Each structure stands twice: as structure tokens, then as C-alpha cells.
Amino acid sequence: MVGTFWAFMPAIIAIVLALVTKQVYVSLFLGIFVGAMMYAGGDPLNAIFTLYQVMSEKVGANTPIIVFLVVLGIFVVLMQKSGGAKAYGEWAGNNIKSKNKALAATAGLGCLIFVDDYFNCLTVGSVMRPVTDKFKISRSKLAYIIDATAAPVCIIAPISSWAAAVAGELEGDGLTVFISTIPFNIYALLTIIMVFALCFLNFDFGKMKKNEDVAEATGDVYAGVPESGSAEAEIESNPKGKIRHLVVPVIILIICCIFGMIYTGFFYNWDTGLIDTELQSANVIEAFSNCDAGMSLAIGSTIALVIVSVYYMITKTISFKEITDSFTDGFKAMVPAILILTFAWSIAGIMGAKGGYLDAQAFVETNLANSAFPQFLFPAIFFILAGLIAFSTGTSWGTFGVLVPIAVTILGGSGALTIMTVSATLGGAVFGDHISPISDTTILASAGARCNHVEHVNTQLPYAGLVAGIAAVAYLVGGACTALGSVVSCIIMWAVALILFAVAVFVIKTINKKKAAK
């Protein structure tokens, strides 16, 4: 079973069970156990040993991310206790006069926080929840906007943890090649276009529209499906809180996280996994390419927490005891997300998304290397394959880590077809990650919006699927036009994509009008 299609069975089982039973934790655990049983040859005791071995490896490797999540949880509690979140909500309520503007403000904030998708999901959610609740925007709609402005924005931002990860998979000047893929990333860019179109054109459809109608009619933003895990406890806030008590900590957090990326990029030793002050990158851009994203966010957020705690105490906004109490409250708030992430990382580990154990990576490499498809089909093929693999494994980074080197090896050079195929791989990986119940970004978007996780997946799927379908057609046309050059093929791709998107919006709005008339 190692290195065969059976390597994907743990994820298939976990995803199907999660969608059918709505029990995410149990489904993920069973998926991991099935994978462990497959690897152990059916020996239950050996399977249990393998299960916890994989889990310890993945949790250990992702400890900085867990620390970062806990610190963000503490930040959220502190901003609520300071009264800053409440003051911002009151200000937004007085200045944001419509539901459309509230949605646009949420999407805009998501686009501004482009450094890292984890940071984006939790920060945007905590800041904008009070605003979207006031305008009766469903939590599933909020979760979609958060998710759609997280990875899709990061994958087209040259200064981000995602850009650093992709650049590391490319030969030569990786960052330059990454920048050249941005105009061809139809899925990511069209997703952002769709988010803002939804904000102003009101063409919700499917389960999302039903949730929006319920929220609008009854004020129940959960639309009858409460958040997974324990309910969020009511936190007493400072009645004298100001907007600056929210804005200043967020700015400090962003600056410190960027500093963390630059610091680890200059001094991080990939061979030892430790900081080595004798190593130095040539410039700041190279430092971003060399950084360790998880370690950077852990270091940056920890420094920011110390600074913000001092700031709150100096301004007499929150007492020292309230700050220390927030540590426990913040950790508790992140427990559901950390638990799901632990299982999601473990299922990717047992499958061997990056090699090892069931070695799904070997299956993908072997079958792609022996493919005999016409080269003009490669952008569309790699887009679809990346989507399927990312959906199954829950990791976009692992997906483009496998497929990008294969695409470059098969096509060679840095021509239009190669750049388009690499870009299609990145977009497909983001799409698969976007709709996967076991994706860390999807999980954190649910956590940031305080939305039921399975509900978020179900309502987001039709939206992401629409954009992905358009992107696949655009890549099919674009691949056939690469002989005309990069610029011309890119223009043709976008003409096809925008025409199809406009037609889709028109059809959806027409159907909604007919239903409303009945």
C-alpha cells in the first residue's frame, strides 16, 4: 500500500465521515488510525504506536505554530478586556451604515493582512465579528470572507510566508519566478474579485444564501448551526476602552511578526533548525525567502505580547492580574482549533504528503513523471491535480512542494508554459486547501469566525467550486495560447475568466429573482 493510491485512503475516510456525521474530531482520528493500520499491516498495537508516533512528530514540528495560535488567542481576550474591540464595534456601527460596507470592510482588512494566512484568519475574525453580527451577516458568510482573503491573498503577496515557501521550491532566483506567476494565478485573483463582487452585488446562492436569509430574518447569525466546541464565554470589557486599544496592539503584532520573519530569514540555519548569527541573507527580500514562517510568527507574537501587555498596564487599561488571567482564557479559546490542527497535521503525516509512511508523494511523482499528455494541457491538469491532492491531504504547501519541482522538471526553463503551469499548481493547491475539511487554514477560518467547521466547509464549497471551474477553463485556453507569448496568453486567459464570471453572476442573480418572485 506504500506509494500507491491507497495512501490517500485515510483522508478520504476522514473527509467522508466528517461531512456525513458532522463529527470532525472523531472522523479525523479514525482516518489517522486507518492509515496507521494500513502502515502496520493490520497489527492494532503497532498501529496505535504508529499513530502517536506520527502525532508527536507533527506536533513537535509545528510547536511554533501552536504557540502562535495560543498567543493570538491571548491577544483576542486582551483586546476584548481592554474595551478596544467594543469601541471599534461601536465606531464601525456608527460609520458603517450598510451590510455591504460591513462585508467590504471585512474583505478589505483581510487583504491588508497578507503576511500570513494563520495571522489573517484569527485577527480578521476577532476584529470584525462584532461588526458583522450587528448587520446580521451569518457566521458562515464571515468565515468564507476570512478564508477567501487568507491563502488567496498570501499566495499573490511577494512579502509573505507563502511567497517564502514557494520561492524555496523554485530553482535560481525563486522570488523573481514567484512574482512572474502572480498574473497567471486565476484562482487566487478571481477569488478576491468574487469576494468584493459578493459584497456589493448580493448574489449569494446554495446553502450560504439560506443561512444569510435566516440571519437577516431572525438575527441568528449561526443560522441554527451553533459553533463547534464550547460556547464563547462573555468577557467583561473596560467601559472606557478606546479604538486605539485595538488598533495599536494589531499594528504592534504585525510589525513584530514581520520583524520575526526578517530575523529568522537572516539568521535561520535550515541544516540545524537553529538560529545561527553567523549566517546572513544578502538583503531583506532574500531574508523573507529564507525565513521559517512558524518560528517567525512565534517569536514575533511573543515579543508583541510583552510590548502590548506593558502598553495596557502603562495606560491603565488592564491590570496585571487581568493580563495573566487572559493567558488561560486565550489558551482555552484556541483548544478546538489546536485539536483539529493536530489531527489534520497527523493525517497528512501518516499519508506521507511529503514522503514517508504511506508515501503519497511517491505515487504522485511516479504517475506524473510517466504521463504522456500534450504539454498545452499541463496548466489545467496540474491545477486539477493540485486541487485533488490539497483537498485530500489538507496541505497546500505540501502539494506545491511535490508538484512544482515536477512541473519545472518536465517542462524545463522559465517559458510561458512553465510559468503558467507553476501558477496553476499554486492556484490549484490553494483551491484544494480552501475546500478541505482537514485544511489548517479552513479550520482557522472557522475558528476566527466562531462558525461551525462543517457548516463553513459546506457553504464555502459551491463558491470556491465556481471560481475553480472558471479557472480550469481559463488554464485550458491559456495553455493552448502560450505560443503567442506570456502577455497575450495571460490577456486571453483573463478575458475568458472574466466573461465566464460575468455570465455566472448574471445567471445566479436571475435565478434568485425568479425564486424571490415566487
**Burial class (CB within 10 angstroms; exposed 0-12, middle 13-18, buried 19+) of 407:** buried
Per-residue pLDDT reduced to its tens digit, 97-119:
888 888 998 888 888 776 667 66
Backbone angles phi, psi at 157, to 5 degrees: -100, 115
Quick one: pLDDT at residue 196?
Answer: 94
Fill in the amino acid letter for 87: A
Lowest-pLDDT range, 9-13, 178-182, 396-400, 450-454? 396-400
User: What is the spatial distance between Cα 268 and Cα 286, in angstroms, rounded to a whole number?
Assistant: 12
Whether residue 2 has pLDDT greater than 70: yes
State yes or no: pLDDT of 172 exceeds 60.
no
d(C-alpha 165, C-alpha 182), whole Å: 15
Average pLDDT (332-355) is 76
Give the three-class secondary structure for 269: strand
Q: Read off the pLDDT of residues 216-265 as tens digits, 9 standing for 90 and up.
A: 899 888 887 776 554 455 567 777 888 888 888 878 988 888 888 788 87
pLDDT given at position 230: 45
The single-letter DSSP state of residue 62 is: T
The rounded mean pLDDT for the chain is 82
- pLDDT number for residue 175: 62
Q: Which residue has the higher pLDDT, 338 or 321?
A: 321
* Residue 327 in this model has a pLDDT that exceeds 60: yes
pLDDT digits (tens, 9 = 90+) for 278-317: 666 666 666 766 677 678 878 888 999 999 999 999 998 8
Q: How far apart are CA 334 and CA 230, in angstroms?
A: 11
**Mean of pLDDT values over 49-58:** 90
Q: What average pLDDT does the segment 156-167 reach?
A: 66
Q: Look at residue 162 and tell me whether its pLDDT is greater than 70.
A: no
How does 303-333 read in b/e, with b if 16+ C-beta sit within 10 Å? Answer: bbbebbbebbeeeebbeeebbeebbebbbbb
Supply the pLDDT for residue 87: 81
Distance of alpha carbon 383 from its chain centroid, rounded?
Answer: 18
pLDDT value, residue 231 = 45
Helix axes 44-61, 320-351, angle to 10 degrees: 130
Higher per-residue pLDDT: 518 or 192? 192
State the pLDDT at residue 269: 61
